[in-house]
Each structure stands twice: as structure tokens, then as C-alpha cells.
Structure 1
Amino acid sequence: MTKEKNWEAIAASPKFQALVRRKKRVLSGLMLFSVAYYFLLPLGAAYASDLFSRQVWGPLNVGLVFALSEFVVAWSVAVIYSRIANREFDAMAAQIVAEAEGR
């Protein structure tokens, strides 16, 4: 039989608050970077059309390469977040759970 956890006490604990602050900081940074990178495409197409229309190889131009790089950035952000979550967040959460269970 498992013991009922005091969720209010867990949410109020300094370690849980530190976990929430760290996650917000990481997510905010990654989100700001990805949104800024995303908006570079329409801004570049509008204000740097000479650069974006420059041929790279065959019919491929800088604008298309930049647009395709959006996928690389999205996957990179996901990988970065998952590595930080696995390394830091999971350890912090396990410690919080262990303290809540009285270990």
C-alpha cells in the first residue's frame, strides 16, 4: 500500500521551486532562440532578398537552404532539451520524489 503524498508541501518545497525555475529558464531560452531563428526567414526574404536569391547549387538558393535549416534547428532544440532534461531535471525530480516518500 502506498502512502498518500502531500502535493501542497511538494509544490512549496525549495527543491521543487528550483526545478520549476530551471525548467522555465531552459525552455524560455530555447523558445526565444527558435522563434528568433524562425522569423529570420521572412525578414531575410523581405530585407535581404539579394542574399536569399543567390544560387548555391543548381536551383537551390540561400533562401531554400535557410528554410530547410529550420528543420535542423527544430530537431537540435529538441535534442538539447532532452539532454538537459535527462541530465538535470530527472535527477532533481527523483530527489524530490525520494524526499516525498521519506527515503
Structure 2
Amino acid sequence: MASKAINWAAIDADPRFQRLHAKKTSFLMGLMIFSVVYYFLLPIGAAYFQDIYKIKVFGPVNVGLLFALSEFIVAWSIAFYYSKKANTEFDEMAAELVREAERIGG
């Protein structure tokens, strides 16, 4: 059960790994920036645009409450979008590296 030691530095230096890491990092940074901006729109809006947030939509439900609830929908949508992208694009790139890990890092 002796397995060949893998040279992780060689895998890290592989251009395909670098491309995977760069694509994933830029994708995640974009999602993070969007989610942080969307999250902070609620307290900023509640503080500076109170008249908009107080508009009644139906019954006791107003724009502010709907916006607050929309944050859950946006969070789940971001998670779904990331999962979809990771399962198709990123996992394919990673699987290729795993298949050739011994050759790359051997």
C-alpha cells in the first residue's frame, strides 16, 4: 500500500491549477462583493431612505420587510449559482488535475 509521494509544489505550479485557482477566486470575489453590497443595502436604506422602506405593499408588509426577506432568497440563489458553477466548470478542471496528479507531482 505504498503510494508515491506527491509533489504539491509542482501541482501548485501547474498552469492548469493556476487557471483553476484564478477562475475560482475571481468568481468568488464577484459573488462576495455582490452579496456584501446587497446585505448592506438594508441597513443603509433603512437609515437614509426611510420613506421608501415604509411604503406599504399589502397589510402590515412594507418595502423594508420585503427587502429584508429578499436577502434570504438572494443568499440561497448565490449558493445555488455557486453550486451549479462548481459542479460543472470547477469540478471538471479539478478532476483533470487529480487524474494527472501523479504525473505532475511525481
What is the TM-score when the length of structure 2 is the normalising length? 0.91
AA matched with 1:4: A
Which 5+ residue runs of structure 2 have no aligned equivalent? none
How far apart, CA to CA, are the structure 2 residues paired with 1:91 and 1:4? 24
AA matched with 1:60: V
Which 5+ residue runs of structure 1 have no aligned equivalent? none
AA matched with 1:38: Y
How far apart, CA to CA, are the structure 2 residues paired with 1:32 and 1:50? 27
Equivalent pairs counted in the alignment come to 102
List 4+ stretches of structure 1 deviating above 2 A.
1-4
How far apart, CA to CA, are the structure 2 residues paired with 1:101 and 1:13? 12
Corresponding residue of 1:17: 18
Corresponding residue of 1:36: 37
What's the offset of the Cα at 1:6? 1.4
How far apart, CA to CA, are the structure 1 residues paired with 2:60 and 2:88? 43
Task: Provide the identity percentage.
Answer: 61
What is the TM-score when the length of structure 1 is the normalising length? 0.94
